[in-house]
Amino acid sequence: MKSNISRTFFLLYNFTYQIKKSLRLKLFDLKVLKYLYRYLVDNLHSNYSNLENEMPWITYSSIDKLNKLLNIEMKVFEFGSGGSTLYYSKRVKEIVSVEHEPDWYNNVENIIKAQKIKNIKILLRKAESHYNRSFSDLPYSSTMDKKYSGFAFNNYVNTIDEFPDHYFDLIVIDGRARPYCLKHSLIKLKQGGFIVYDNVERLSYQDETFFSIKNWKIHTGFHPVAGSLSFSITNIYQKPII
Protein backbone atom coordinates (compact mmCIF):
# COMPACT_ATOMS: atom_id res chain seq x y z
CA MET A 1 0.00 0.00 0.00
CA LYS A 2 2.79 2.40 0.99
CA SER A 3 4.69 1.64 -2.22
CA ASN A 4 1.56 2.40 -4.29
CA ILE A 5 1.16 5.76 -2.57
CA SER A 6 4.82 6.61 -3.21
CA ARG A 7 4.50 5.50 -6.81
CA THR A 8 1.38 7.65 -7.26
CA PHE A 9 3.16 10.75 -5.94
CA PHE A 10 6.07 10.06 -8.27
CA LEU A 11 3.72 9.72 -11.23
CA LEU A 12 1.91 12.95 -10.36
CA TYR A 13 5.26 14.72 -10.10
CA ASN A 14 6.35 13.33 -13.46
CA PHE A 15 3.03 14.23 -15.11
CA THR A 16 3.46 17.80 -13.87
CA TYR A 17 7.03 17.84 -15.14
CA GLN A 18 5.84 16.73 -18.60
CA ILE A 19 3.23 19.50 -18.62
CA LYS A 20 5.91 22.07 -17.73
CA LYS A 21 8.01 20.66 -20.55
CA SER A 22 5.10 21.07 -22.98
CA LEU A 23 4.67 24.69 -21.86
CA ARG A 24 8.36 25.35 -22.38
CA LEU A 25 8.18 23.85 -25.88
CA LYS A 26 4.90 25.70 -26.59
CA LEU A 27 3.11 22.37 -27.09
CA PHE A 28 0.70 22.50 -24.15
CA ASP A 29 -2.82 21.23 -24.83
CA LEU A 30 -5.59 21.20 -22.21
CA LYS A 31 -6.73 17.81 -23.52
CA VAL A 32 -3.72 16.30 -21.77
CA LEU A 33 -5.54 16.51 -18.43
CA LYS A 34 -8.20 14.01 -19.50
CA TYR A 35 -5.52 11.31 -19.73
CA LEU A 36 -4.21 11.70 -16.19
CA TYR A 37 -6.29 8.82 -14.80
CA ARG A 38 -5.22 6.38 -17.53
CA TYR A 39 -1.62 7.49 -17.11
CA LEU A 40 -1.76 6.72 -13.37
CA VAL A 41 -3.50 3.36 -13.78
CA ASP A 42 -1.16 2.10 -16.51
CA ASN A 43 2.00 3.24 -14.75
CA LEU A 44 1.10 2.40 -11.16
CA HIS A 45 2.69 -1.01 -11.63
CA SER A 46 6.08 -0.82 -13.30
CA ASN A 47 5.60 -4.20 -15.02
CA TYR A 48 2.92 -2.85 -17.41
CA SER A 49 3.44 -4.35 -20.86
CA ASN A 50 1.98 -2.96 -24.09
CA LEU A 51 2.50 -6.39 -25.65
CA GLU A 52 0.55 -8.22 -22.94
CA ASN A 53 -2.14 -5.54 -22.96
CA GLU A 54 -2.30 -5.54 -26.77
CA MET A 55 -1.93 -1.78 -27.01
CA PRO A 56 0.07 0.47 -29.35
CA TRP A 57 2.98 2.36 -27.81
CA ILE A 58 1.63 5.74 -28.92
CA THR A 59 -0.30 8.58 -27.29
CA TYR A 60 -3.64 7.92 -25.61
CA SER A 61 -5.28 10.55 -27.80
CA SER A 62 -4.11 8.75 -30.95
CA ILE A 63 -5.41 5.43 -29.63
CA ASP A 64 -8.80 7.07 -29.03
CA LYS A 65 -8.71 8.44 -32.57
CA LEU A 66 -7.84 5.04 -34.04
CA ASN A 67 -10.67 3.40 -32.10
CA LYS A 68 -13.03 5.60 -34.11
CA LEU A 69 -11.26 5.23 -37.47
CA LEU A 70 -10.58 1.51 -37.70
CA ASN A 71 -13.01 -0.91 -39.30
CA ILE A 72 -13.07 -4.56 -40.27
CA GLU A 73 -12.51 -3.86 -43.99
CA MET A 74 -9.16 -2.07 -43.55
CA LYS A 75 -5.74 -3.30 -44.65
CA VAL A 76 -2.87 -2.16 -42.46
CA PHE A 77 0.92 -2.10 -42.86
CA GLU A 78 3.07 -1.59 -39.79
CA PHE A 79 6.76 -0.76 -39.43
CA GLY A 80 7.59 -2.14 -35.98
CA SER A 81 5.60 -4.94 -34.34
CA GLY A 82 4.34 -5.43 -30.79
CA GLY A 83 1.18 -4.85 -28.80
CA SER A 84 -0.03 -2.66 -31.66
CA THR A 85 0.05 -5.66 -34.03
CA LEU A 86 -2.38 -7.53 -31.80
CA TYR A 87 -4.48 -4.39 -31.30
CA TYR A 88 -4.93 -3.86 -35.05
CA SER A 89 -5.62 -7.54 -35.72
CA LYS A 90 -8.77 -7.35 -33.59
CA ARG A 91 -10.10 -4.38 -35.55
CA VAL A 92 -9.10 -4.72 -39.21
CA LYS A 93 -9.23 -7.22 -42.06
CA GLU A 94 -5.51 -7.66 -42.65
CA ILE A 95 -2.26 -6.48 -41.08
CA VAL A 96 1.29 -6.85 -42.37
CA SER A 97 3.97 -6.05 -39.79
CA VAL A 98 7.71 -5.88 -40.45
CA GLU A 99 10.15 -6.28 -37.56
CA HIS A 100 13.94 -5.91 -37.43
CA GLU A 101 14.76 -7.48 -34.04
CA PRO A 102 14.81 -11.33 -34.11
CA ASP A 103 14.09 -11.91 -30.41
CA TRP A 104 11.18 -9.46 -30.38
CA TYR A 105 9.91 -10.95 -33.64
CA ASN A 106 9.86 -14.37 -31.97
CA ASN A 107 7.99 -13.02 -28.95
CA VAL A 108 5.26 -11.49 -31.09
CA GLU A 109 5.06 -14.47 -33.44
CA ASN A 110 4.66 -16.89 -30.51
CA ILE A 111 1.68 -14.89 -29.23
CA ILE A 112 0.16 -14.83 -32.72
CA LYS A 113 0.48 -18.62 -32.94
CA ALA A 114 -0.79 -19.18 -29.40
CA GLN A 115 -3.88 -17.07 -30.09
CA LYS A 116 -4.27 -18.61 -33.56
CA ILE A 117 -4.61 -15.19 -35.17
CA LYS A 118 -5.05 -15.59 -38.91
CA ASN A 119 -5.06 -12.03 -40.25
CA ILE A 120 -1.49 -11.09 -39.26
CA LYS A 121 1.50 -11.53 -41.56
CA ILE A 122 4.65 -10.73 -39.60
CA LEU A 123 7.96 -10.45 -41.46
CA LEU A 124 11.53 -10.37 -40.12
CA ARG A 125 13.88 -8.00 -41.93
CA LYS A 126 17.12 -7.64 -39.97
CA ALA A 127 19.50 -4.72 -40.19
CA GLU A 128 22.45 -5.21 -42.53
CA SER A 129 26.00 -4.08 -42.03
CA HIS A 130 27.16 -1.36 -44.38
CA TYR A 131 30.27 -3.43 -44.93
CA ASN A 132 28.58 -6.70 -45.88
CA ARG A 133 26.79 -5.50 -48.99
CA SER A 134 26.81 -2.80 -51.63
CA PHE A 135 23.63 -0.77 -51.83
CA SER A 136 22.05 0.21 -55.12
CA ASP A 137 20.83 3.31 -53.28
CA LEU A 138 21.95 5.12 -50.14
CA PRO A 139 21.91 3.01 -46.96
CA TYR A 140 18.79 3.65 -44.89
CA SER A 141 20.20 4.25 -41.44
CA SER A 142 18.53 4.53 -38.04
CA THR A 143 19.87 7.34 -35.89
CA MET A 144 18.02 6.70 -32.61
CA ASP A 145 20.07 3.75 -31.31
CA LYS A 146 23.87 3.69 -31.23
CA LYS A 147 23.98 -0.12 -31.45
CA TYR A 148 22.83 0.20 -35.07
CA SER A 149 25.65 2.52 -36.05
CA GLY A 150 27.14 1.09 -39.23
CA PHE A 151 23.94 -0.78 -40.10
CA ALA A 152 21.28 -0.12 -42.72
CA PHE A 153 17.59 -0.95 -42.95
CA ASN A 154 17.07 -1.04 -46.71
CA ASN A 155 15.39 -4.46 -46.75
CA TYR A 156 13.24 -3.42 -43.81
CA VAL A 157 12.09 -0.18 -45.47
CA ASN A 158 11.66 -1.76 -48.91
CA THR A 159 9.29 -4.44 -47.60
CA ILE A 160 6.31 -2.21 -48.31
CA ASP A 161 7.40 -1.97 -51.96
CA GLU A 162 6.35 -5.62 -52.37
CA PHE A 163 2.72 -4.53 -52.30
CA PRO A 164 0.66 -2.75 -54.99
CA ASP A 165 0.35 1.02 -55.00
CA HIS A 166 -2.67 2.40 -53.10
CA TYR A 167 -3.13 -0.94 -51.33
CA PHE A 168 -3.26 0.00 -47.64
CA ASP A 169 -5.90 1.92 -45.70
CA LEU A 170 -3.52 2.61 -42.80
CA ILE A 171 0.27 2.62 -42.53
CA VAL A 172 1.95 2.79 -39.13
CA ILE A 173 5.51 4.14 -38.87
CA ASP A 174 6.84 3.35 -35.43
CA GLY A 175 10.04 1.38 -36.02
CA ARG A 176 13.45 2.00 -37.58
CA ALA A 177 14.57 4.42 -40.31
CA ARG A 178 11.27 6.28 -40.08
CA PRO A 179 11.88 9.08 -42.60
CA TYR A 180 12.67 6.46 -45.25
CA CYS A 181 9.62 4.42 -44.25
CA LEU A 182 7.45 7.50 -44.66
CA LYS A 183 8.88 8.22 -48.10
CA HIS A 184 8.16 4.67 -49.33
CA SER A 185 4.70 4.64 -47.78
CA LEU A 186 3.02 7.54 -49.56
CA ILE A 187 2.42 5.73 -52.86
CA LYS A 188 1.22 2.58 -51.07
CA LEU A 189 -1.53 4.43 -49.18
CA LYS A 190 -5.04 4.71 -50.60
CA GLN A 191 -6.59 8.11 -51.11
CA GLY A 192 -8.43 8.92 -47.92
CA GLY A 193 -6.18 6.49 -46.03
CA PHE A 194 -4.22 7.23 -42.87
CA ILE A 195 -0.59 7.35 -41.78
CA VAL A 196 0.37 7.03 -38.09
CA TYR A 197 3.78 8.67 -37.58
CA ASP A 198 5.09 8.41 -34.03
CA ASN A 199 7.47 10.62 -32.01
CA VAL A 200 7.44 13.40 -34.58
CA GLU A 201 8.89 15.89 -32.11
CA ARG A 202 12.26 14.27 -32.84
CA LEU A 203 14.01 16.56 -35.31
CA SER A 204 15.68 13.63 -37.08
CA TYR A 205 12.23 12.48 -38.25
CA GLN A 206 11.39 15.85 -39.81
CA ASP A 207 12.75 15.64 -43.33
CA GLU A 208 11.56 16.78 -46.75
CA THR A 209 8.88 14.08 -46.98
CA PHE A 210 7.59 14.95 -43.50
CA PHE A 211 7.06 18.58 -44.49
CA SER A 212 5.53 17.58 -47.85
CA ILE A 213 2.44 16.21 -46.07
CA LYS A 214 2.03 19.06 -43.57
CA ASN A 215 -1.18 20.16 -45.33
CA TRP A 216 -2.85 16.78 -44.99
CA LYS A 217 -5.67 16.61 -42.43
CA ILE A 218 -3.96 15.81 -39.15
CA HIS A 219 -4.63 14.66 -35.60
CA THR A 220 -1.79 15.65 -33.27
CA GLY A 221 -0.83 16.63 -29.72
CA PHE A 222 1.97 16.37 -27.17
CA HIS A 223 0.24 13.84 -24.90
CA PRO A 224 0.94 10.93 -22.52
CA VAL A 225 2.00 7.66 -24.15
CA ALA A 226 0.36 4.36 -23.23
CA GLY A 227 2.72 2.36 -21.01
CA SER A 228 5.30 5.14 -20.76
CA LEU A 229 6.26 7.86 -18.29
CA SER A 230 6.93 10.29 -21.11
CA PHE A 231 4.78 12.49 -23.34
CA SER A 232 5.26 12.46 -27.09
CA ILE A 233 3.58 13.43 -30.36
CA THR A 234 1.86 10.84 -32.52
CA ASN A 235 0.54 12.34 -35.74
CA ILE A 236 -2.29 10.72 -37.67
CA TYR A 237 -2.44 12.06 -41.22
CA GLN A 238 -5.23 11.54 -43.75
CA LYS A 239 -4.24 11.41 -47.40
CA PRO A 240 -6.33 13.80 -49.54
CA ILE A 241 -8.87 12.38 -51.97
CA ILE A 242 -8.13 13.86 -55.39
Which of 173, 192, 242, 186 has its CA nearest to residue 212?
Answer: 186
Start-to-end CA distance of the chain, whole Å, equals 58
State yes or no: pLDDT of 138 exceeds 60.
Answer: yes
Rg, the chain, Cα only = 18
Asked whether residue 125 is domain-assigned, the answer is yes
Please report, for the domain that includes residue 212, its CATH number.
3.40.50.150
Average pLDDT (143-147) is 72
Which domain does 118 fall in, by range? 50-238
Average pLDDT (196-207) is 95
State yes or no: pLDDT of 20 exceeds 70.
Answer: yes
Name the residue type at position 154.
N
Asked whether residue 40 is domain-assigned, the answer is no
What's the pLDDT score for residue 224? 97
Asked whether residue 182 is domain-assigned, the answer is yes
Q: What is the pTM of this model?
A: 0.93
**φ, ψ of residue 229 in degrees (nearest 5):** -80, -15
State yes or no: pLDDT of 132 exceeds 70.
Answer: no
- What total number of domains does the chain contain? 1
Asked whether residue 136 is domain-assigned, the answer is yes
Close Cβ partners of 162 (under 8 Å, ≥ 6 residues apart): none
**Confidence band (pLDDT; 50, 70, 90) for 128?**
confident
Chain segment 72-100, per-residue pLDDT in tens = 999 999 999 999 999 999 999 999 999 99
d(CA 76, CA 196): 11
Asked whether residue 6 is domain-assigned, the answer is no
Which of 139, 134, 174 has its CA nearest to residue 158?
Answer: 139
Chain segment 173-200, per-residue pLDDT in tens = 999 999 999 999 999 999 999 999 999 9
